[in-house]
Each structure stands twice: as C-alpha cells, then as structure tokens.
Amino acid sequence: MKERKNIAFASEGFLCKGWLYLPSHASASHPVPAVIMAHGFSLVKEAYLDRYAEVFCEAGLAVFVFDYRNFGESEGDHRQHLDPHQQIEDYRNAISWVSAVKEIDKEKIGIWGTSYSGGHVLHIAAIDKRVKAVVSQVPTINGWRSAERKNGPEKMKGLIGNLIQDRESRYQTGVQQYIQVVSNDGTPAAQPHPECYKWFMGTKEAAAPNWENKITLQSMEKYLEYNPAGLIDLISPTPLLMIVAMDDKITPPDMAIEAFETRAKKPKAIVKLRGGHFDVYNGETFSEASGAAAHWFARHLKESPIPI
C-alpha cells in the first residue's frame, strides 16, 4: 500500500508543485529512503512519471516527483523557459525539502533523471554529496554535440544564426521569442526528429494535457551551452547507474556509453536496452528500465550508504 500527497516546496522564490509517495510502513520512527525525480526537455510530471514512482514506491522507497519552475503546475515568471541550471537548483531544493520530511531518512536519498534531466542528475550527483545513489536514463551528455547530431550541418548553422539574432533582439527589446517543441509541418522546432512529434503529441492527449508545445528560443541557447556530463568523474563514490536505449535517435547512446566507460568511476553499472528513446516511458522497455532503477536504488539506499 502507498499514499500520494500533493506537495508544494519553495525554490528561489517560486513554489514548485509535486507528488510525494510514501510506502505504508514509513513513519517518523521508521524513516525510509527516498528518490527525487523530475522530467526531461519541456515535460511535466504527468507524462508517465507516476508509473516510475509507483514502481519505486512498491520497492519500499518514498518518491518525490515535481515540476520545475515555469512548467506544469509550478510557479514561475518566465513560463516555458528551460534553464538547466535553474532546474538543477529546483532538484537541490527538492532534496532539502525531502530531507525535512519526518518519514524520510535524509541520509539515504537518491535522484533519478531521464533525457534532459538524465543530464541534470549527473551534474547534481557530482556536486551534491547528499545524494547517495543516482540513475541517469537516456541522458543528455553534451547539448552542443547532441544538437549537431539531430540537426545536421545546415540546420545547425541556421539554429545558431537564429539564436544570435534572438540574443541581440532580447538585448534591445527585452522581448522573448518562442519556438515549438515539436512540429510536423516543417516549421522550426526544438526537437526536430519525427519520433518526437508523434510521442509528445500522443502523450499530451493521453496523459499530460497541461503540457505546452512551446519554449523560449533562449532555451535552445541554454541547451547548447550545457555540458552535464562534464563532471561525471566526480560522481564516485556515489553509485551511478546509466540506462541507455541502443536505438535512441534523440540522445545518442554512443555519447552516453563513451562518458560512462571512459570518464565515470566505480561504483557504476550500465544497462543497454533495445528500442528507442521513448520506449522507456510507455513502451516495450518501461518494465526493464523501471525495474533496473528500482533494484539499484533498493540495493544502495536500503543498505548502509557509502560514507563521503
């Protein structure tokens, strides 16, 4: 049995909204480990994160799922703007909030991220040693190099030109320009791969009607600047599990595997799944992905944590 509560926590002047899942045996006298999680690029918690939270909670873990500032149910004065560094601060403030919950053992906190947030958790685990286990699923490794892969030379050149124009325009006018997240009519989009339009729009209809198909154009500038695996070697001795999809056209698996094999240090493990980027959410590899993550967290959080 489990309980889910609607929660709001403060993050740099804004209230971020989320769900707290507590196993029935959690109490102040018997606090339980916890996993903190948030979604990827522009997405909201309703986009199948409840499925992961339920698996983790069934494994005896408390789970806190939240929306970043500016997205979903959370507050924010810069709506639909993705700044990875702000989102990292929201994660770290979520850790602080969870650490004060009497039913949770603050010494046994893990973080889970996927796609864009799969990159976030790599950075957080490297710098925030309150984290005692991390799962990075189909992660963004380097924004610039990922964009080059997805766009090709000509589209990449056009994107850079648009971002230069947008920066100069914002400097002069202060006005934000917007871009669609996905498109199927040839108009510019942040996620240009055809798989993205089908999945994002299908998810909006089926699970997350509050997701909006737009972000600030400045969000793409922030994306290109972002190198979330830059400190991956500093995650150790926190246990790292990386989950990659071998037919992933959105976050290239070879980039994740290279970072894992050559720069990440032990303790670490990697799971290589068949299928594509979106199969881990509501497709054929969900059970494998969620099961591997639940096992990792249970193994490293329900035992004595590694001393730092």
pLDDT higher than threshold 90 for residue 308: no
Task: Give the 3-state secondary structure of residue 87.
Answer: helix
Q: Where are the beta strands (DSSP E) in 56-114?
A: 62-66, 104-114
Fold for domain 2-143+226-301? Rossmann fold (3.40.50)
pTM of the model: 0.97
Per DSSP bridges, beta strands 32-38 and 131-137 are unpaired
Q: What pLDDT, on a 0 to 100 scale, did the predictor assign at position 2?
A: 76
How many angstroms separate the CA atoms of 45 and 71, rounded?
10
Number of neighbours of residue 202 by Cβ within 10 angstroms: 12
Residue 139 DSSP label:
-
Number of neighbours of residue 212 by Cβ within 10 angstroms: 17
Q: What pLDDT, on a 0 to 100 scale, did the predictor assign at position 3?
A: 84
Of 95, 30, 38, 32, nearest in space to 58 by CA: 32
Residues 6+ apart with CB under 8 A from 29: none
- The pLDDT tens digits for 81-117 are 999 999 999 999 999 999 999 999 999 999 999 999 9
- The pLDDT tens digits for 79-91 are 999 999 999 999 9
- The pLDDT tens digits for 177-191 are 999 999 999 899 999
Residues 6+ apart with CB under 8 A from 211: 42, 43, 44, 46, 47, 72, 200, 203, 204
What average pLDDT is seen over the chain?
A: 96
Residues 64, 98 contacting (CB under 8 angstroms): yes
What does R_g of the chain's alpha carbons equal in angstroms?
Answer: 19
198 backbone φψ class: left, alpha, beta (φ>0; ψ -120 to 50): alpha
How many angstroms separate the CA atoms of 259 and 72, rounded?
31
- The pLDDT tens digits for 220-242 are 999 999 999 999 999 999 999 99
pLDDT higher than threshold 70 for residue 304: no
- The pLDDT tens digits for 51-66 are 999 999 999 999 999 9
User: DSSP labels for 1-50?
Assistant: -EEEEEEEEEETTEEEEEEEEEETT--SSS-EEEEEEE-STT--TTTTHH
pLDDT higher than threshold 70 for residue 305: no
C-alpha distances in Å from residue 121, one per residue of 73, 106, 186, 265: 22, 18, 33, 16
Q: What separation, in Å, do the N-terminal and C-terminal C-alpha atoms of the chain show?
A: 33
What average pLDDT does this structure show over 160-180?
A: 97
pLDDT higher than threshold 60 for residue 155: yes
pLDDT higher than threshold 80 for residue 34: yes
How many angstroms separate the CA atoms of 182 and 195, rounded?
10
Per DSSP bridges, beta strands 2-11 and 62-66 are unpaired
As beta bridge partners, residue 270 has 242
